Structure 1
């Protein structure tokens, strides 16, 4: 059609749309494609429109909306106001559905809420997000993001944060916060806001802070008189001038757990207390560490610099073409990304070296020791496995906290345990298997990695005070209810807590059942037997006598005393 309009202008042309009720502005540029008939009049060719300038032709329907390959512009494309109104209506509809879903779990105190706050430095605005999990009466596990809204309170004090959380939850009829469970990070403001409610701290967030401490990547607080965001590194001595790559965030607040396991603590003298404070790994600075540790930390810095350069220079495609994989970047708030960074460098070490040699930037890779990178990846591998077990959005994971903590302590206790329990890092080589015990004995741990491993184990024991609910959640799991590797005292406290909670639930159910008057059951009609008049109505005395005779004739030694249930409720 376009060809005819361009080369046969005597017989084909574009005519105007004569309809007076035109609303679309497209008709100023488009018209109907027409052909000259026998009477020398131009007759419209149905189902086609053409541009007046470029003569490009499109198919259309009999309606006013233009159509191209079954795409009706009038029926598909919506205006901004229409989309906005439809979004609000959808939000109201789903909020009403969520109210119905959460009403029954809320009454049974089976709803857990996870509030979190963050700031947008570009818009200079804070936001409040709330994630909710619940279990209904049919034991279905539900997880949903309740809201993500701007934080409009005056400041970030505990009272104002609590007020913002209450306003956000009132939309879903979650008015009584005492019926909710909370999972938060160890931030002081959120901790103060929820100190009067049942809260437990995020395990993944604590692991992330532990690794930052272990590798001396602490974040310093911003000064009040600073107007720009600055990144402060804790590297000292000769490393201070070599790197400023550590990003900043709010420092953690070492507040106590809500329901810690009570342990019998021995009395310590003043000299022992002073020694413990001086040897606290949380107070140790990098400047006072062994030079081997400096080399390991410097290797991490050089790896981050290398990946940053490759990303900015756009060399990942060249590395992939050289039979490598793209180098992964590191995010300080997600230490899982650190092991991905180290693994990508190990996997693409030779391809990266060839690409950097062409660019005359091989010095960025020469300073990276491949053995140290592999050792750091092995050290971080158990934490990656642990975080993947804990951070599951489709199933409960509270029962895994105790098991993961005990496993980390065991793996970090010795280099042999660490290597033998660490799967192969090269997931691209299916022929490789886990390291055997004999191979683990032949491997040698470097001095710096040994110090970092022991430091990580010390921080794990200091920074993690397990909550009694962690023990209870593991004990209620059918696979782990024996609480292996736990002391008798810890088992007794978990059992006692479970009995106390079950007593509360039973009393609550009884109080509700007393208010319910059940109707009398009707007696079913049955046809009388002709022998019923001759039956003995004095009771089954003969049966009872027969039972006594049987019991007296049995052997006493054959009876075994049943084992009492440790979770049995005692009144």
Structure 2
């Protein structure tokens, strides 16, 4: 009998007196055939819903768990077992915690053995890119070192995989310890011997830069763009000063009524997010005077023009409004009116400034209604300059579009880096119709453009990514010097690929004519010619000419005719350069190998950030006792299952 603790006994069906289960053949065939036609009675369904509701409430599970595909799969298996064996107790089926942990570890080991072959093949072909980073969970404060892999497979699919999220047990996070943990993680896949062939993508943290200095490293573009924005709008300086001192009469504290007052502890809690994350190394550059960059923040801000101060004050007022709305619990009121919640801006979240200002702009009218209903002081809303707010949002839109695109891991992103910077720079150009009242935004456009020039430089991989996109292969938006350098980088990579291919298949020795009387002299002459430096140089020149022919052929004919379509849906879909190389790689045998290496490089380290986001969902307050090693196994199994779902058909056809 199956019992519900709140309801009457569930109806059961008779089973065989034998303790063995019914034939699996009958279970699979009969049950599968009738499953869609069979339906539970209303009484049974009601009892089940009640049990499910009790479970969600008592164990604090999310209501959305009923939509989880994993839960549905487990239920289907239980129904099949019940159909085969009859009613059995759940305790006889459910494993203990230790058994489940062992199963997770066993599955991870099996999966790693499968992935090892795939990853070694990608590394051997110099197609593998890795993104490492450090992270600490929010409950146990345990440090982890995570790493994601990205590569283009032999079928020209872009693959992304979470290699590991290892607990970081070293006494400190210096470069020597970091590289040891990275090697420990790579050893799980026998990849530690390919570290020089891998392209590494990471942020500009000094410890990571030092750890990877011997290898090919491409720095995350998203981090750099975020730094440019923070620098442009003096975010580090603003967080260090008192607003009324720095901005004088341009900054006015909003009048607070008695309901607005908050405790000191709440104020500290709300401000610590930004203040603890201030980058003390932020450079201070004054565009108003030639003063030293060592000026204190108050002096730097005080030297700004009135128009520039108004822009910064508008940002501050929006952030303060968001903070206030959160404190007085009005976000739910906004949600009830379909206005969306307000989003706070923090110094480390990529482009959070745009989302903060956009959320404020969309919520202004609903907030006025809410403040009227609750009789709150509307000065916090009224002091915001809507005209400046709209201009700020328009200023940030190109940045938002670029940032979203370069973080993609479903299609290549490295080829979008140089066009993205070009797009942002174009949006910063001073227009002839700029009105006098736009002086503040003109100042910040100039400041942002100068910051991009000083802080963003293109790696050879970025230039080659532009070249290997057929749409931008002629690199017209790059300078002539960059175009020439790019071609030289490509030729160098082609030479390496050619050497690797030559070393994989040793050359056959030339056979001598055994029927002649001077065979031994012929062999001597051949060996002498092969050892001659002139012959080697001539061979190298021949290879270089062959490579240049491929490059010229691609520059002249490297367009994809299949992209010409009248289908509006396809026209709106972004062009994927891998589709071109999949169709034409036979025409460019060596160039295509370099294209696969370059287009597999991510423009940002967003993938490893997503890995940490997933790990953060594993380690919660209810699961804070979870072993760090088990966290690593869970992260791997999740990634492996995702990979199999995307690429299992491709792998089976190889």
TM-score interval w.r.t. the shorter chain?
A: 0.5 to 0.7
Q: How many residues align?
A: 421
Partner residue, 1:405: 421
Q: Match of 2:147, SS?
A: strand
Range 363-372 or range 376-385, more displaced: 363-372
Partner residue, 1:180: 198
Q: Match of 1:348, SS?
A: helix
Aligned ranges 1:86-485 → 2 under 5 Å = 86-120=103-137, 122-176=139-193, 177-218=195-236, 232=240, 237-238=245-246, 246-249=274-277, 251=279, 285-322=300-337, 324-359=339-374, 360-415=376-431, 441=433, 446-485=438-477
Native 8 Å contact 1:128 1:151 kept in 2 = yes
The structure that is helix-richer by fraction is 2
State the Cα RMSD in Å. 3.6
Range 234-243 or range 442-451, more displaced: 234-243
Shift of 1:237: 3.1
Shift of 1:202: 0.4
Native 8 Å contact 1:495 1:567 kept in 2 = no
Q: Match of 1:479, SS?
A: helix
- Deviation per residue, 1:457-477 (Å, 9 max, x gap): 111111011122211210121
**d(CA) in 2 for partners of 1:76 and 1:89?**
19
Native 8 Å contact 1:498 1:567 kept in 2 = no
Q: Which has the higher contact order (CA 8 A, sep 6+)?
A: 2
Distance 1:488 1:355, change over 3 A: same
**d(CA) in 1 for partners of 2:383 and 2:215?**
52
Residue 496 (str. 1) matches residue 514 (str. 2): no
TM-score of the superposed pair, with normalisation by structure 2: 0.58
Distance 1:163 1:234, change over 3 A: farther
Q: Match of 1:205, SS?
A: helix
Shift of 1:566: 5.8
**d(CA) in 1 for partners of 2:145 and 2:463?**
31
**d(CA) in 2 for partners of 1:447 and 1:142?**
47
Native 8 Å contact 1:319 1:348 kept in 2 = yes
Shift of 1:78: 3.8
TM-score of the superposed pair, with normalisation by structure 1: 0.66
The structure having more radius of gyration, on CA atoms, is: 1
Shift of 1:60: 5.2
Structure 2: runs of 5 or more not aligned:
20-43, 49-78, 83-88, 254-266, 284-288, 510-547, 554-589, 591-654
**d(CA) in 2 for partners of 1:413 and 1:120?**
43
Q: Match of 1:394, SS?
A: coil
**d(CA) in 1 for partners of 2:246 and 2:281?**
30
- Deviation per residue, 1:410-429 (Å, 9 max, x gap): 2102246xxxxxxxxxxxxx
**d(CA) in 2 for partners of 1:442 and 1:199?**
41
Distance 1:393 1:235, change over 3 A: farther
Native 8 Å contact 2:222 2:350 kept in 1 = no
**d(CA) in 2 for partners of 1:144 and 1:409?**
33
Range 203-212 or range 347-356, more displaced: 347-356
Structure 1: runs of 5 or more not aligned:
1-46, 221-230, 256-274, 417-440, 518-562
Range 120-129 or range 365-374, more displaced: 120-129
Match of 2:478 among 478, 486, 501: 486
Native 8 Å contact 1:412 1:454 kept in 2 = yes
Distance 1:461 1:75, change over 3 A: farther
Distance 1:379 1:356, change over 3 A: same
Shift of 1:336: 2.9
Distance 1:206 1:76, change over 3 A: farther
Range 193-202 or range 368-377, more displaced: 368-377
